[in-house]
Amino acid sequence: MDNQKRIFGLRQNIFFLGLVSLFNDFSAEMIYSVMPAFLTVVLGAPPVLVGFIEGFADALASFLKIYFGWFSDKIGKRKILAAGGYAISVSTRWFLALVGSFWQVFILRSIDRIGKGLRDSPRDALISESVDKRELGKSFGYHRAMDTVGATLGPLAAVFLLPLILNDYRLLFKISFVIGILSVLTFFFVKDVSRSLSSGSLNESALRKGLKGEGFSFSLKGYSRAFKEYLLAVFLFGLGFMPIALMLLRSKEAGLNGFSMPLMYFVYNLSFVSFAIPAGKMADRFGDKKVLAVGFLAAIASYLYLAFFHSVLNTILGFVILGIYSAFTDGVERALASKLAPSDKLATGQGFLNAAVGISSLLAGIVGGMLWTKAGSDAALFYGAAMMAVGLLTFLHLNRHKKVL
């Protein structure tokens, strides 16, 4: 690890893994920002099927992240699994240009999420192993910032390109595929890190146990009480944090025009990108727990602010605060999981964290969506704030584990 080159102050692996995510999310969001319109207008799918496809795909990815995290720890490999996962996801974008029915989109979307389930945990473990623990916050912050830059530019590119290509969605999918190839090619510059040399390295007996140990299970046996409580806190908090797609409906209620949703999405992502790297540096300097607590408070404040104040300006400010929440938590959560998980189960631990976030988000979307429909957005926002407060209080209970926080 010490002989890794630095690029703009970042380890080589961190810099290029950031580019991988930028290219991939640029490519993916070009497609998925227009997918609801493609499904309903071109393929004639009912709206309920749009929600089912996304919910099933994300739930599938959440469970697979645990398995492939375990598998990565088992074989001691990170890069090949991560690169393979990105390659699988990118390949589906070409075939989307050929589909003729919504069930084919469902199959391809599921395969895409299999790729995500394969890549995320080994990639996050590789980030953890590529730097000293003192740089984890900054490294994950940079990675999440680059991910979000891609997720911001992708939809803007789609808006710009569609009129130029006469709203030919299938051609847009092919263009997205070409951009996605760049993410796979960038892996040429990423190097696997020897587990015996990485930060928090394994001793010989632990390494043998990791490669020859017990088979896969969803059990948290072997993880510390601090890690388990951390997952519980993240899960409980996530039960209140509704998907951004649902939150964007708030902008419409504020009286903004048809461009309000992409505008609010841009405001949210811009705030996220602006604060992600500074938040990571703050976590390295002041501690992960303090930064995460600020992030959790920002989410609660955003929900309450949006519930009480309904003007356009206040809605914009609410989404700025929401972006601050993501900046202060998205990367730092992964960094803290790396510190709490056993070194021979690093990728598996990242898988459990990703699953906790993904599954709770799916449940929050279902409950929040029902409340939004039946009782209005204010009721959904108050529910979200209350549930997130429970998660925050559970997280603060981790205070006795001061040596890792």
Q: What is the DSSP string of 323-348?
A: HHHHHHHHHHHHHHHHHHS-GGGHHH
| Mean pLDDT, rounded, for 265-281 | 84
Enumerate residues 6+ apart whose C-beta is below 8 A from 370.
none
Q: What CATH number does the domain located at 10-188 have?
A: 1.20.1250.20
| Mean pLDDT, rounded, for 208-229 | 71
DSSP line for 375-401 = H-HHHHHHHHHHHHHHHHHHHHGGGG-
| Mean pLDDT, rounded, for 203-208 | 43
Does 118 have pLDDT greater than 90? Answer: yes
Q: Which amino acid is at 90?
A: V
Q: Tokens standing for 110?
A: 């599921």
Closest C-alpha to 328, from 401, 279, 257 = 279
Rg (CA), the chain: 20
**Residue 167 backbone class (left: φ over 0; alpha: ψ -120 to 50; beta: rest):** left
Contacts 24+ apart (CB under 8 A), 171-174: 171/97, 172/30, 172/31, 172/34, 173/31, 173/93, 173/94, 173/96, 173/97, 174/93, 174/94, 174/97
pLDDT score at 213: 52
Architecture of domain 222-405: Up-down Bundle (1.20)
Share of the chain above pLDDT 70, in %: 85
Per-residue pLDDT tens for 142-201?
A: 998 898 889 888 888 887 888 899 888 899 999 999 999 999 999 999 998 875 544 443
Domain parsing of the chain, residue ranges: 10-188, 222-405
Q: At what angle do helices 225-238 and 377-396 cross, to 10 degrees?
A: 170
